[in-house]
Amino acid sequence: MSASHTVLKDDSLLSRTDRLFFKLESLLTLVGGIVIFLLVFLTTANVLGRWLFSLPISGYIDWVEQAMAFFAFLGIAYTQREGGHIRMDMLVGHLHGRPLWVTELISVLLMFAITLVLIYGSFLHFLRAYQIGDSSLDINLPTWPAKLVVPFALTVLALRLLLHIWGYSRAVLKGGDDPVAVPLIEDTASVAAAEAESVMGEVSDERG
């Protein structure tokens, strides 16, 4: 299951690097959101064109297929940093201190290894598409740009996982319950308090 997370900060090199890299992740997520936004307009234009003028957009399916890689993968590192990926934490949520950080470190190391394999395979897939001039079926859009997005986004994820390896290794050495630059699981009470504060803040803004 998924739980809410928070990421602590301090003045260490790790935390500064985390915040700097988070700007890149946020930018890539914004690009993915813009792609979704543009896709909504494209879909609307396609539906209206088909309905009003019997004239759908040529290659609509091809454009959607290419766009999917952008909004599906560009936000993957951002989600990892925020601890937003679905995970089973019923057992891990009961651990504290070094046992928890050792468990998280092992998990991140496994994810990092799998991500490297995926980077290698997806890059070969992109390279093959580029070399043979692979294109979509309808309007012959080149497919290599969308296929390049996958190894690029996974590389950004791998760098984020390296930061998490750094953070959890540091936590294992220092112990404690408040390491920086890694997503920390919040309990139900903390989540509820944060949501209530957010709602009250929105209500205050509207009244003001």
pLDDT of residue 168: 96
Q: Token digits for 184?
A: 């920390």
pLDDT of residue 1: 47
At 72-112, the pLDDT tens digits run 999 999 999 998 887 777 778 788 889 999 999 999 999 99
CB 119 within 8 A of CB 151: yes
- The mean of the pLDDT values for the chain is 89
Give the whole-angstrom CA distance, residue 160 versus residue 173. Answer: 20
Burial of 131 (0-12, 13-18, 19+ CB in 10 A): exposed
Confidence of residue 21 (pLDDT cuts 50, 70, 90): very high
Mean pLDDT of 125-150: 95
Q: Which residues pair with 183 in a beta bridge?
A: 7
Quote the pTM value: 0.86
Choice among 26-30, 67-71, 82-86, 169-173 with the minimum mean pLDDT: 82-86
pLDDT of residue 205: 57
Q: Token digits for 186?
A: 């919040």
CB 88 within 8 A of CB 94: no
Give the whole-angstrom CA distance, residue 104 versus residue 145. Answer: 34
pLDDT of residue 89: 75
Among 78-92, 163-177, 189-203, name the most confident range.
163-177
pLDDT of residue 94: 81
Stronger pLDDT, 194 or 143, i.e. the higher one? 143
Mean pLDDT of 106-119: 97
